[in-house]
Structure 1
Amino acid sequence: MAALAATFTTVLNRGDHAIFSDTAGALLSVDNTFNSPFNAWLINRGSVTMPLRMRQHNASAQAIAEHLQSLPQVRFVAYPGLESHPHHAFAASQLARPDAGFGGVLAFGLNTDHDGHNRFVSKLNVITSAVSLGHDESLIVFLGEDDERQYLYPPGFHQGFFRLAVGLEDTDDLIRDIDHALS
Structure 2
Amino acid sequence: MVFRVDWMFVLGLLTLVTNIGYFVRIVYLMELTQELNSFHHLHSEYMAPDVVDAFGVIESFLDTQVPKDKTVACAYTDLLRDRSAARPLELARERIVHWYERVSYYHKHGLLEAHAFDDFPGPFRAARFVAELEPLTLASCKHSHVPNCHLLFDYIRGMYDLNPRDSAASTCAPIVTVASKKQRKADDNNDGKANEEL
TM-score for the superposition, normalised by structure 1: 0.27
Considering Cα pairs closer than 8 Å and 6+ residues apart, tell me whether 1 or 2 has the greater RCO. Answer: 2
> Rg: which structure is higher?
2
Structure with greater proportional strand content: 1
Structure with greater proportional helix content: 2
TM-score for the superposition, normalised by structure 2: 0.26
